[in-house]
Chain A
Amino acid sequence: GESVGLHLPTLSVQEGDNSIINCAYSNSASDYFIWYKQESGKGPQFIIDIRSNMDKRQGQRVTVLLNKTVKHLSLQIAATQPGDSAVYFCAENLRGSSGSARQLTFGSGTQLTVLP
């Protein structure tokens, strides 16, 4: 299957600044994308998702942008806080031809470190 990759393995930001985490995908048929946050030693937690018929979606302090032209996905975190330090994964879901949902394909993750 197609792989999902991240541009940067690590990202350090000052507390209070905005963070931008990028993700590239290569399968133009993917129609659903999701961002997870994983703290050390824990399972991933849902942050936000977006469908391919949208360009932007906002949550609480987070925004996901989807650029289908260049197959690029980004997660923006506003006013980054120490509790935001974690690994962030993007994942894509390629819907099968039968219409049934298939499993997610995950990227390798970006480690976000918030500096005091």
Chain B
Amino acid sequence: DGGITQSPKYLFRKEGQNVTLSCEQNLNHDAMYWYRQDPGQGLRLIYYSQIVNDFQKGDIAEGYSVSREKKESFPLTVTSAQKNPTAFYLCASRSGGEEQFFGPGTRLTVL
């Protein structure tokens, strides 16, 4: 099956710890995105990557970091600098068109 996978589905973190969220796609899409979703709100863009080895900050990049070493993978690290990291994190990818395809999401909770 082609698609986007995110792991883990649920993630718990202690305050002060960094944590990395996985996003993998086998759709051969060039562009990938990370969004954050808080309860009752829309999606806010954290980082995006249009091509391998290149990425740009979105609207709320502070406290997050990404890498794009492979076309299929776009991991997101939530650092200890992110003051309010508890949220639902969504990864998406896009081919040459404008529609973005989303993964199932990772729910991060800081204990």
Residues of A within 8 A of B (CB): 1, 4, 9, 32, 34, 36, 41-46, 49, 89, 93, 100-101, 103-104, 106-109
Contacts and interface: CB of A to CB of B under 8 A. Distances in A.
B98 A93 contact: yes
Nearest to A42: B104
Interface of B: 4, 6, 33, 35, 40-45, 48, 50, 58-59, 90, 92, 94, 98-105, 107
Contacts of A46: 99, 101
B41 A108 contact: yes
A32 B42 contact: no
B45 A103 contact: yes
A36 B46 CA distance: 19
A44 B102 contact: yes
B59 to A, nearest CB: 8
A106 B90 CA distance: 13
B40 A43 contact: no
Nearest to A107: B42
Contact of B104 (A32, A43, A93, A108): A43
Contacts of A107: 42
Given A49-B99, A108-B41, 5 more contacts: A4-B42, A41-B105, A41-B107, A103-B58, A106-B44
